[in-house]
Structure 1
């Protein structure tokens, strides 16, 4: 099996039917999306396809990139792109195999069930302690080669901490990935190509473009000690393509002990179901200034580190940082290189309304808490000039500061009403509900502002009335959630009226207080006239 020749990628065609294709068919205009049976597989397949195109494209200029966006290469042309790297995508055999350790043997490794390829599978401790309450053991016992290849790539790309010597991925465990897609799907090719950089731009980051030998790009083609000569591997030791094909885990699938039956993931029949693999610790240890083009980054002590999903999900509170960057004193963030290049250089060349697809695992060390998958609309942001982008950034930064202040105040008020000020616990559901309830109001203001700026780059979208409208939405939502969702719905015999009244009074004060007004740049309320000032006014 060769992953560049065989039809193993599940896709959805324009009429809705599901099909399986080979990579050279990715440019077929009838194909609109990936159609795997797991959302993390869809995210992995998107990164596989983008990485493959980026690693093989001859497009080195903006003009070539634009031409290929609207006129995709034919299947034969894509086959020619991929031919020079075909040996790196063999999936079986005695020699190098895709994403598998070249020298690993059964007598030096541990035998594992194929379910261990899945990040959300219960670990050894959970199985030993019978604590697999939500994600049960025994769900996956056998995989067809197509699903095994996808599971392997998904693990290597997202690899979390796995014990002593079991390395995390190049971006750490469960990285956040952000991709630009059409707002309304047109073709899978266009969605993929929007995230491919011109060759020189890609090769200028995270690697040495002079290291063009295949094993510097696809690390499974050589023993790992020929790549990693010390305790870690840095960008200077490999080609820039390596960021898409990082291999932190030493794994080799058992393709000899196979049987016939139905795959436990896709349900298709296969004569070569894979049930186990061997693994060993101390794989490639990624250290240094790696800069993955599909991930946003944050600054920590002078270094830029890849972002990871956190509890609470993905939503509009991330819109600014992941599209334009955030430069506040607490947390500097920057978008992925693909997003920055699209908004700064490509602009109207991308030809249509776009959205940002963000996804990734929320990891608690080696345990997967949740898979997050969300889309954020751009509303024509890519059509705005530089001055308009700065205006949008300033406005949205203020709106988000106000929303964060309101969310914090609501959480504190709910805690005070329920338990009093010294209570501890997880109140993240309060924040999540608040952000979810205010999302529609945020996007309505954002769409109106961007429409105005596209029509007139000098339009005043930061006027006081807009900020007051947003403030009113925040206040209304916070009070409604306090009264009707969290506090007011509890059994009356369990409530403490005095504590609830005091918590609500404090919430009101905070929603109209100085911190909120500073965040939204609202004027201070007029102070009521005193007896002396009223008398002076009457005499005048």
Structure 2
């Protein structure tokens, strides 16, 4: 099965139907998005497509990026043929994101390719209480490419000897999302100059394109204990680094097992694989182009923005779009102009981790804000800081007004108790976030005015009171309860509008 030429990718057509295509059929097509049965696989397959076309037909300039979007320029058949050898999923030659066969004491189950499946130590200690070891037992060949991409490109720490990739742990991935899947891919392509600046490779100094893939690079052995400079993997090596030594065991699905990824039955599947820690790692600090970075004053390199355990908030959006410094913003934003930014969206996703175990999958779509230049970015940051602070105060006051207060006797079961103050706070965050985005888009090189900031605070107060009324509307039948609600509403209004 070849991942470029064979049909394995589920996509949604404009009419709403889901069909399966090969990536070679994607350029210029009207398909809207990847439509996998698993939400995380839909996002990850989109990322995989971006990496494929970034390597296949990297634009030489921003102009060529626009030509791909407008379909004035398309990848050629020869370009696809040049990558065929790197995208064979099974067979006797090089395999996609795998190493050559090797002996191990025992094979690992297919569940090793699923983030949510219990690890070997968890199973050994019989602690797989929430996700059973038997819940993930089979993986079809159509789901396998995304599963491989997930464990390799989003590799998490797995004990001594496992060297994570350029993202490290639970880094938040972010892409630009357009009207169609092909537009989404094109909007995230970066000119070759960005990769040249990362690797120091230019023009004829760049190795063969197949050197970008560790599994087709003759110089690389993932079981060789040595640091590998990124230059050995060509321009696009940062996209394809494989920190785990894996080899899949493909067998006939004679028992008709259902795939744990898509829920369908296929003639061939994966039930086991060889899994071994790789001793190699990339030398130096490499930034992945779809990960936002926060600068570190002590180390100088910085760290990736991680998936938040408590949900995606406006602060994360601000960090991804405006950035602490213009050069730390996601590089794909630099290819957008303001006209494009108004039509596309930011999609941020990833697994939140707790002690290296995934606890939740986050996948958020929001508007995009792109700074024009350093002066515009400074004005945006100043304004956003003021607006976000006001929004935070409104959210905190709303949540506090909805919690029980034992000191004031609110523990009485007859008095109001809202079961989800946090959800009410998120509703307010969503509403205020949209308002902040609208305000920031009108800023040039000077921060917002005092009057505009005052109007926003008044709007935040009104929104908080409306949401308070909405979530307490069922408590008005009992007179005592109604008085308690009214008292809380008055206190909320005072907190939001303190007297000078």
1:219 partnered with 2:214: yes
Aligned pairs for 1:179-258 within 5 A: 179-182=175-178, 185=179, 187-206=180-199, 208-209=201-202, 210-214=205-209, 216-222=211-217, 226=221, 231-256=226-251
Task: Identify unmatched segments of 5+ residues in structure 2.
Answer: 409-419, 476-486
1:143 partnered with 2:123: no
Q: Which has the larger radius of gyration?
A: 1
1:354 partnered with 2:344: yes
SS at match of 2:303: strand
Matched residue, 1:275: 271
Matched residue, 1:377: 367
**1:180 Cα offset (Å):** 0.9
Matched residue, 1:442: 433
State how far apart, in whole Å, the 1-side matches of 2:59 and 2:28 are: 19
**1:265 Cα offset (Å):** 2.4
Matched residue, 1:395: 383
Q: Deviations over 1:70-99 (max 9, x none)?
A: 01655xx44322221211111112231100
SS at match of 2:295: strand
Matched residue, 2:484: none
State how far apart, in whole Å, the 1-side matches of 2:158 and 2:219 are: 19
SS at match of 1:254: strand
Q: Deviations over 1:291-330 (max 9, x none)?
A: 1111111122222222210112113232221111136xxx
More helix per residue: 1
State how far apart, in whole Å, the 2-side matches of 1:276 and 1:435 are: 42
Matched residue, 2:32: 32
State how far apart, in whole Å, the 1-side matches of 2:455 and 2:129 are: 45
Task: Identify unmatched segments of 5+ residues in structure 1.
Answer: 421-428, 490-500, 514-524, 527-540
User: Out of 83, 89, 94, which is 1:85 matched to?
Assistant: 83
SS at match of 2:266: strand
User: What's the TM-score once normalised by structure 1's chain length?
Assistant: 0.76
State how far apart, in whole Å, the 1-side matches of 2:216 and 2:29 are: 33
Q: Is the 8 A contact 1:156 1:247 kept in 2?
A: yes
State how far apart, in whole Å, the 1-side matches of 2:176 and 2:495 are: 38
Distance 1:248 1:174, change over 3 A: same
Matched residue, 1:265: 261
State how far apart, in whole Å, the 2-side matches of 1:418 and 1:137 are: 43
State how far apart, in whole Å, the 2-side matches of 1:221 and 1:333 are: 33
Matched residue, 2:315: 317
User: Out of 137, 162, 169, which is 2:165 matched to?
Assistant: 169
Q: Is the 8 A contact 2:62 2:335 kept in 1?
A: no
SS at match of 1:326: coil
User: What's the TM-score once normalised by structure 2's chain length?
Assistant: 0.82
How many residues of Structure 1 are paired with residues of Structure 2 in the alignment? Answer: 475
**1:370 Cα offset (Å):** 0.6
State how far apart, in whole Å, the 2-side matches of 1:481 and 1:67 are: 46
SS at match of 2:32: strand
Q: Deviations over 1:144-198 (max 9, x none)?
A: 111112211111111112222233232112321111112xx2x211111000012
1:51 partnered with 2:51: yes
State how far apart, in whole Å, the 1-side matches of 2:425 and 2:4 are: 46
Q: Is the 8 A contact 2:138 2:259 kept in 1?
A: yes
Taking only aligned residues, the RMSD between alpha carbons, in angstroms, comes to 3.7
Matched residue, 1:154: 150
